[in-house]
Amino acid sequence: MQKEQAIVLHGKGVRTQDLKSAIHDFNAQRQMNPELGKAVGHLVLSWRAFDRNKLSQKIMVDRAADI
C-alpha cells in the first residue's frame, strides 16, 4: 500500500482502500484479541517473469487461498 507498484489482492475483515483504514482495522482486531503477537499477516506471491501474462489477480488470490 505504501509502494506505488503494490497491489492489495485480498483482505478479509480489513478495509483495503487506503493505508489509514487498514491500520485502524488491524489495531481494532488486535485489541479484541490481545493474545495475538502481531497485528498483520501477509504472504508474498512470486512467479517466474515469463508466466506473468498467464496470471490474473483472481488466479493469484485463488493460489494464495490454497496455502
pLDDT number for residue 32: 87
CA–CA distance, 49 with 10 (Å, rounded to integer): 22
For 1-59, how does the pLDDT look when each residue is reduced to its tens digit (9 = 90+)?
Answer: 788 888 888 888 889 989 999 889 988 888 888 887 766 667 777 888 898 888 898 99
pLDDT number for residue 40: 65
pLDDT number for residue 10: 84
